Every structure is written in C-alpha cells, then in structure tokens.
Amino acid sequence: MVAKITTGKNIRGALHYNENKLAKGHADLLLTNGFMDNSDTLSLHDKLVQFREFTDKNKRTKTNTVHISLNFSPDDKLDEEKLKKIAMTYMEGIGFGDQPFLVYQHFDASHPHIHILTTNIREDGKRIETHNLGRNQSELTRRSIEEQFRLVKAEDQKQKQAYMLRAVSLEKASYGKSETKAAISNVLTEVMKTYKFTSVAEFNAVLRQFNVTAFRGEPESRMYQKKGLVYSISDGNGNRLGVPIKASSIHSKPTLVRLEQRFERNKEQRKQHKPRAIKTIERILEKPEIKDLERLKTNLSMKGIYAVFRTNDQGRLYGVTFVDNVTRSVFNGSDLSKQFSANALHQRFNIQEDGGTNATEEKQKPDGATTEELAPGHSLAEEMIQGLFEEIPGEHLSENRPHRKKKKKRKRRN
C-alpha cells in the first residue's frame, strides 16, 4: 500500500474534486465518519457545512484541509468492506479517527485506490499537527496495515510498477521488428502476470486496450493446427499492423501452451472478483438512461469495466466479454449471469438484425474465424498514463521531505 497526503487551504475545492468524480460515475462514496446523516442522504452542501463547523472554529489556521490517497497493488484482494476497514484503521492510526471524513473509491486508474477527505481542525478548535505526518504516523500505520490485511508492501509495489501499463504506440509498427518486439513484450509480461483470463478471446480483449493482438492463424492453416501464436500491434479496430512477432521469440514465452496452462488457474483466482463485476454491471443496467449497448459500454468504462460485444453479419449479438480493469479479471457475460449473456442483452435492447448495431463488434467471417474489435470510448491507456496518483493543489507531505534550514541573522556591529 502506498499512502500520499496532501494538505491545502480550500476544503471546498477538495470536496468538489471528489464529488465531481462521484457525479460522473468515476467514484463511489464508501464511508462517512462523523456526519449526522448516512452517505445516501448527504448532499454536497451537507458535507461542506459539516466540515466548516470544524474549520470555522479556528480561522487563524489557514491550512485546514487534508486529502489522502491510499493506493493498492492490482494483486491485493480487496472488496468494499475491506477498503472501509482499511480506511478506518488508517485514520485511527494517524490520529484522525475522531475527525469527520469521507472515503471515496475512485475508478479512474488501473490500480485500486481510495481518497479520504478530512480536516485537521478538531471539534474544540485546536489544530492537529501535520508536520511529518507522512513520515511518522502514516509510515508506521501503513506498515501495520500491510501486515494486518496482507497487502502487497509499498516497496514491492514501487518495484513492480504493475499499475503503469501503457498502450503501445501505433507508430512503433513502422519502426521495425526490434522496436515492435520490445513494445509488445512489455505489455504481454504484465498482462500475463496480473490479468485473469480463461481463453484466448478473453486474453485478446485485454490486449486490445494496449494496441496488441494475439493471432493463431486461420483455422485451416498449419500454424493453427500446430498451436502456433504470433503477436502484432493493432489499431483501435483490431487490424494487425507491422511485423508479427512469434510468441516463442519473446522473452516471457507467451506461447499458446503456456496460456492454456494458466486458464484453469485463472478461473479459480477470478472467482473472488466475480461479485464486484456482477454488482457493478447490475447497478448500471438499472439506470433508466441505459437504452442501448453504446450507453452501457460508456457507463461501464466509468467504473473501470470495458465491454467487448460481438455480432455476426446479420447484426445478431452472439458474444459478450467484460474486462474488469480494477480487479484485472475477465468474464464472458454468461459466466457472470444469464441477464448479462449475449442473448439476454440482444433481447433487452431489441437489437435489429439488419447488419448494423451501435455495439462494438466482433464480426464473424464466413470461414468461422473471428476478429474482435475493442469497444471504443474512454481509453484505459489514457487513464493509466495519468500516473500512480491524482492530487489536488496543496502541500504534499512526503516522508522524505527535506528540512529547510533557518538562516542565522547576522548581528549588526555598532
């Protein structure tokens, strides 16, 4: 777990930052502490008034806002209840357990993370000292939480950089074989290590977000019969570009045989993340504005889930894949629930079988081979490139923050 603390002078701005994420569907309000009403009935105004009841008691202290982000590895096993317990434990550990605070779970990055907003002004008007808060109380609490909740340690998390996956530049396809191979290899190494997929199609659904495609060859080809596999850079429509790279020539050896060895293991590992995917998709489908696949796809992307919809030449929806980039788990729609299956969604949205559809498609070729196209919309790569954390303006309290030495005043000679 990596903790980052930012202090500021404008609690309204920090509150608006998180509430805007909430309004756009890029965040959920997990927990409220020290507020009269529960989180479902609190308005933005109610939250601001509660904070100001504290900050107005000490107007001499200008820096009265504390904004914290707790960032976790994609390998951590987390759900909402566990995140709530971690947030409460952390706030108590740094001495803010009795303060009013709000806990938001954000979905705008590939790694799980929460934001906590509070004030350092107590109910009696006294100020909580934040000097060295990140270096002392936060550091001790972070280590204790990592042990208590069995989280990936911050040191390991920084070394792995698992959350920094980036899409391969399409320009690399024209650079030559060596540049293409290196770019593809970086993506494959991380996707194979952290994503839980159970088929080549699911594997491809993940890879397409990073402009990479795995291809077995046509079903009647020798490469297909011999279980060969090549990787190519691809555009947003799944079209392969540049020189294909043999799987066996890549350092991590992402061959078909090795992929198939992971399928059963991944099937077990993704089970713990199934409830989060079902709950998220159900909530979105309950929204009255979700009237077609395009709106479903857009709303899912706000929660970190990317959808691939496959139709045949007649416009019939026959396949659905959901990639949960928060938990890095991949599911076919029917594996989650009958209501998420291709047939159920086809009937729900009354899709006309006329060869056209608003959905992102994987069109079926006459010979039975398929070419998937990743759903357009909000790019995962764009979210990930933002970096490890987002922050609002303020003073960042780093545990390695250098001290400023006071200059000695020179005595004047008479």
The reported pLDDT for the residue numbered 174 is 47
The reported pLDDT for the residue numbered 313 is 79
pLDDT bracket for residue 397 (50, 70, 90)? very low
User: pTM for this structure?
Assistant: 0.56
- Yes or no: domain 2-160+390-397 corresponds to CATH 3.30.930.30: yes
Of 99-103, 134-138, 150-154, the range with the highest mean pLDDT is 99-103
Considering the chain, what percentage of its residues have pLDDT values greater than 70? 77
pLDDT tens-place string over residues 67-97: 999 998 877 888 899 999 999 999 999 999 9
Q: Which two tokens stand for residue 352?
A: 């006309």
For residues 347 and 414, which has the higher predicted lDDT (pLDDT)?
347
CA distances from 361 to 292, 318, 364, 376 (A): 14, 10, 9, 10
The reported pLDDT for the residue numbered 132 is 85
- How far from the centroid of its chain's Cα atoms is residue 188's Cα? 18
Residue 310 has pLDDT above 50, yes or no: yes
pLDDT bracket for residue 125 (50, 70, 90)? very high
Mean pLDDT of 334-338: 93
pLDDT bracket for residue 155 (50, 70, 90)? confident
Mean pLDDT computed over every residue of the chain: 80
Q: Which contacts qualify for 74-78: CB closer than 8 Å, 24 or more apart?
A: 74/110, 74/111, 74/112, 74/162, 74/163, 74/194, 74/327, 74/328, 75/152, 75/162, 75/194, 76/1, 76/112, 76/151, 76/152, 77/150, 77/272, 78/112
Residue 122 has pLDDT above 50, yes or no: yes
At 40, the amino acid letter reads D
pLDDT tens-place string over residues 205-246: 999 888 899 999 999 999 999 999 999 988 766 788 878 899
Residue 54 has pLDDT above 70, yes or no: yes
Residue boundaries of the structural domains of the chain: 2-160+390-397, 168-266, 270-375
The reported pLDDT for the residue numbered 395 is 40
Residue 163 has pLDDT above 60, yes or no: no
The reported pLDDT for the residue numbered 339 is 92
Residue 146 has pLDDT above 90, yes or no: yes
pLDDT bracket for residue 60 (50, 70, 90)? very high
pLDDT bracket for residue 372 (50, 70, 90)? very low
The reported pLDDT for the residue numbered 404 is 46
For residues 383 and 27, which has the higher predicted lDDT (pLDDT)?
27
Residue 394 has pLDDT above 60, yes or no: no
pLDDT bracket for residue 354 (50, 70, 90)? low
The reported pLDDT for the residue numbered 169 is 52
Residue appearing with tokens 């555009």: 235
CA distances from 206 to 133, 308, 328, 398 (A): 39, 10, 9, 35
The reported pLDDT for the residue numbered 385 is 31
The lowest-confidence range among 49-63, 229-243, 279-293 is: 229-243
The reported pLDDT for the residue numbered 393 is 37
